[in-house]
Amino acid sequence: MTKHRLTSGRLPCGVVAAALILATSLPAYAQPAEGSQAESDELPRIVISDPNRDLFRLALPDAAGERNLARSATEIEQRDLTITGLFRVLDPVSFPDALQKEGMGFSSALWTEVGAQGVAKMGITHQGNGLVLEGRLYQVGRGESPVLSKTYHGAELRTLVHSWANDVIAQFTGQRGVFGARIAFAMAGKKGEIATVGMDGAELSVVTHMNSPCLLPAYSPGGGQIAFTSYLMGGDDLWVVPAGGGRANRISKRPGLNSGAAWFPGGGSLVATLSYEGNAELYKISASDGSVQARLTNSPAIDLSASVSPDGSKIAFVSDRQGTPQLFLMPSSGGSARRLTFQGTYNQTPRFCPRADTPIIAFTGRDERLVFDIFTYDLRTGKIERMTQNQGSNEDPTWSPDCRLIVYASSRGGLYAMNPQTKLEFQIWKGGARSPSFGPPPAESR
pLDDT at 44: 64
pLDDT at 39: 55
Pairing of strands 269-274, 237-242: unpaired
Instruction: Measure the N-to-C terminal CA separation of the chain; round to a whole number of Å.
Output: 59
Burial class (CB in 10 A: 0-12, 13-18, 19+), 97: exposed
pLDDT band at 444 (very low <50, low <70, confident <90, very high): confident
Task: Break the chain into its structural domains and give their ranges.
Answer: 4-35+180-438, 56-173
- Tell me which DSSP letter residue 440 carries: P
CATH architecture group of domain 4-35+180-438: 6 Propeller (2.120)
Compare 361 and 368 and report the one with higher pLDDT.
Answer: 361
Res 38: pLDDT: 47
Question: Is pLDDT at 181 greater than 50 in this prediction?
Answer: yes
Confidence at residue 324, expressed as pLDDT on a 0 to 100 scale: 92
Mean pLDDT taken over the chain:
88
Better-scored residue on pLDDT, 20 or 358: 358
CA distance 263 to 220: 6
pLDDT at 41: 62
CA gap 133, 127 in Å, rounded: 10
- The secondary structure of 51-119 as a DSSP string is TTTTSEEEE-PPPEESHHHHHHHHHHHHHHHHHTSSEEEPPGGGS-HHHHT-TT---HHHHHHTT-SEE
In our burial notation (b when 16+ CB lie closer than 10 A, e otherwise), range 291-329 reads eeeeebbeeebbbbbbbbbbeeebbbbbbbbebbbbbbb
pLDDT at 367: 85
Q: Which amino acid is at 416?
A: Y
Over residues 92-129, the pLDDT tens digits come to: 888 888 887 888 888 888 888 889 999 999 999 999 99
318, amino acid identity: V
Q: Is 56-173 the same fold as 4-35+180-438?
A: no
pLDDT at residue 4 is higher than 50: no
Q: Domain 56-173 belongs to what topology?
A: Rossmann fold (3.40.50)
At residue 133, does pLDDT exceed 80? yes
Q: Name the band, by pLDDT with cuts 50, 70 and 90, for residue 316.
A: very high
HEC assignment per residue over 285-326:
EECCCCCEEEECCCCCCCEEEEEECCCCCEEEEEECCCCCCE
**Residues paired with 365 in a beta bridge:** 347, 373
Contact by Cβ (8 Å): 372, 365: yes
Strand duo 130-139 + 118-127: pairing:
antiparallel
Other Cβ atoms closer than 10 A to 247: 8
Helix%, strand%, coil% for the chain, nearest 5: 10, 40, 50
Q: What's the pLDDT score for residue 368?
A: 83
Q: What span, in angstroms and rounded, lies between the C-alpha atoms of 425 and 225?
A: 29
Does the pLDDT of residue 1 top 50, yes or no? no
Out of 42-56, 70-84, 137-151, 209-223, which region has the weakest mean confidence (pLDDT)?
42-56
Whether 244 shows a pLDDT value over 50: the answer reads yes
**Which pLDDT band, with edges at 50, 70 and 90, does 131 fall under?**
very high
In one-letter notation, the amino acid at residue 351 is: R
**Which range, of 28-37, 122-131, 283-292, averages the lowest pLDDT?**
28-37
pLDDT of residue 143: 82
Distance of CA 119 to the CA centre of its chain: 29
The pLDDT value given to residue 52: 56
pLDDT at 312 > cutoff 50: yes
Q: What is the mean pLDDT of residues 132-147?
A: 92
- Whole-angstrom Cα distance, residue 269 to residue 336? 21
Residue 331: what pLDDT?
97
Which tens digits make up the pLDDT trace of 156-174?
A: 999 999 999 999 999 999 9
* Residue scoring higher pLDDT (363 or 101): 363
Task: Provide CB contacts within 8 A for 323, sequence distance 6+.
Answer: 13, 33, 35, 36, 37, 39
- CA 290-292-298 angle, 5° bins: 130
* Phi and psi, residue 92, nearest 5°: -65, -15
Listed in sequence order, the residues at least 6 apart from 259 whose beta carbon sits closer than 8 Å to its beta carbon are 8, 9, 17, 18, 215, 216, 229, 236, 238, 272, 273, 304
Compute the residue count for the chain. Answer: 446
* pLDDT tens for each residue of 192-225: 899 999 999 999 999 999 998 899 999 999 999 9
- d(C-alpha 445, C-alpha 160), whole Å: 8
Whole-angstrom distance, CA of residue 34 vs CA of residue 30: 12
Give dist(CA 3, CA 152) in Å, integer. 54
Neighbours of 61 (CB within 10 A): 21
What's the pLDDT band for 8 if we cut at 50, 70, 90?
A: very low
Looking at the chain, the whole-number percentage of residues with pLDDT higher than 70 is 87
Angle between helices 157-173 and 67-83 (to 10 degrees): 40
State the average pLDDT over residues 329-336. Answer: 96
